[in-house]
């Protein structure tokens, strides 16, 4: 009996130690993007892990919905992002007739102000838990 209890205690301890950890190493990330106080519907949000090789790193991005909300997707790995520090870039291109949920091509409504990965204006920290980020409030200036 003591042996069964001991093994059960070990299993429960191991299960609790992994609470919050996702099997694929990704944690849910959601947020909101506005431009001058209005939802930036259709904008593409890109997360670039600080210190990572951008060519080898899987792309993490989200498309802003009509209400201004977005969720990150990490390529074919699924929704979310690995924990860490990130630079954030945003492009907002609007081409009529483009398929919803896909990055768009054409001029950036933000004139590239938020799209330079070498000089990012926005940053985020992803923790080992569900992440609801503070809104990214973009402006013309």
Q: Is the pLDDT of residue 104 over 80?
A: no
The range of the structural domain enclosing residue 52 comes to 23-138
Q: What is the pTM of this model?
A: 0.75
Confidence class of residue 16 from pLDDT cuts 50, 70 and 90? very low
Stretch 129-137: mean pLDDT, rounded?
97
pLDDT digits (tens, 9 = 90+) for 50-87: 887 777 777 899 999 999 999 999 988 899 999 999 99
Residue at 4 is within a domain: no
Residue at 12 is within a domain: no
| Domain total of the chain | 1
Residue at 9 is within a domain: no
Give percent of the chain with pLDDT exceeding 70. 74
Please name which of 34, 134, 137, 126 lies closest in space to residue 86, comparing C-alpha atoms: 126
């Amino acid at each position: 009996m003591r042996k069964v209890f001991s093994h059960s205690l070990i299993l429960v301890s191991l299960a609790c130690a992994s609470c919050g950890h996702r099997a694929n190493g990704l944690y849910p990330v959601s947020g909101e993007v506005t431009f001058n106080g209005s939802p930036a519907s259709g904008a593409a949000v890109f997360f670039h892990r600080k210190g990572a090789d951008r060519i080898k790193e899987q792309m993490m991005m989200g498309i802003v919905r009509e209400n201004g909300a977005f969720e990150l997707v990490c390529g074919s790995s699924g929704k979310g992002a690995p924990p860490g520090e990130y630079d954030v870039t945003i492009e907002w291109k609007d081409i009529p007739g483009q398929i919803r949920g896909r990055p768009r091509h054409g001029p950036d409504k933000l004139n590239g102000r938020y799209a330079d990965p070498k000089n990012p204006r926005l940053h985020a920290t992803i923790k080992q838990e569900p992440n609801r980020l503070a809104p990214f409030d973009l402006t013309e200036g």
